[in-house]
Amino acid sequence: MSHASVHIVVRNTAPSDFAHIIELSRKIYPFGPPYNEAQLASQHRVFPEGQFVAIDRQSGALVGMAASLIVLWNDYDMRMNWRDFTNNGFFTNHDPLRGRTLYSAEVMVSPTHQRQGIGTKIYDARLVLARRLRLLRIRAGGRLRGYHRYADQLSAEDYAIKVVRGEIKDPTLSFQLKCGYHILAVVPNYLPKDPESLGWVAIIEWINEEVAKPEDYLGRDPRFQPPSEPLSRYP
């Protein structure tokens, strides 16, 4: 843990945080509209436990956030985009009665506070939530933020494979893999206007081994097998 992260506390989002989240989203996503108050209010209303912010206790500044909802994965297709998975950011498709998948719709860390352990604290808070609710897994669309540098040389899938092998370091995906996530697929048009990923994301998964059964690991693509992962997890 970095020295800076000692001063960071992660807690559930409150309505008083909305304006600060909107401002943060403007910095993270300059290519698209920021979150709006109606979306954040809806997220908070339908699933307050799944929304988090990271606060610097020294300055009081909001330096990160995470947003999530529970879905029944069989209702979705792997190639759907962010709007499909989140009902346009309102999370009104939150399905805690049938769903076993915590879908990570968002993680943001302030550009001036990155590489300080804040993202790790946010991810850890989400793992605690998934375990407490006895959910099977967390899934997300991880932006391939570095892909624009390699798009003239590699397909998006080949880029992701090289990131898994450690041959390329991606600002987002490399961190997610280090946190114990695995790639299920690489899909286009998740965030179509993103100039860094060119719309490409890796659909990633963390499995809750406290509740998982062997069949829950079926369907993993061996091309995305991390070097240290047992082959049995890629049947």
CATH code of 94's domain: 3.40.630.30
Q: In terms of residue numbers, what domain contains 152?
A: 66-233
Q: Coil, helix or strand for 43?
A: helix
The pLDDT confidence band at residue 207, using thresholds 50, 70 and 90, is very high
What local confidence, expressed as pLDDT, does residue 30 receive?
86
What does DSSP assign to residue 136?
S
What local confidence, expressed as pLDDT, does residue 230 receive?
60
Residue 142 covered by a domain = yes
Mean pLDDT of 76-88: 94
Residue 3 covered by a domain = no
What local confidence, expressed as pLDDT, does residue 227 receive?
81
What local confidence, expressed as pLDDT, does residue 115 receive?
85
Residue 29 covered by a domain = no
Residue 40 covered by a domain = no
Residue 35 covered by a domain = no
Domain tally, the chain? 1
Read off the tokens for 143: 């932006």
41-50 pLDDT tens trace:
999 999 999 9
Nearest to 130, CA basis, from 235, 38, 49: 49
What local confidence, expressed as pLDDT, does residue 187 receive?
97
What pTM was estimated for this model as a whole? 0.93
Mean pLDDT of 6-25: 96
CB-based contact 208:199 (threshold 8 Å) = no
How many other CB atoms are found less than 10 A from the CB of residue 138? 23
Q: Which residue has the tokens 């997300």?
A: 140
How many other CB atoms are found less than 10 A from the CB of residue 97? 7
Residue 159 covered by a domain = yes
CA 177, CA 12: separation in Å to the nearest integer? 25
143-192 pLDDT tens trace:
999 999 999 999 999 999 999 999 999 999 999 999 999 999 999 999 99
Q: What is the 3-state secondary structure (H, E, C) of 57-125?
A: CCCCCEEEEEEEEEECHHHCCCCCCHHHHHCCCCCCCCCCCCCCEEEEEEEEECHHHCCCCHHHHHHHH
What local confidence, expressed as pLDDT, does residue 226 receive?
84
Lowest-confidence segment of 16-25, 84-93, 226-235 by average pLDDT = 226-235
C-alpha 122: how far from chain center = 10
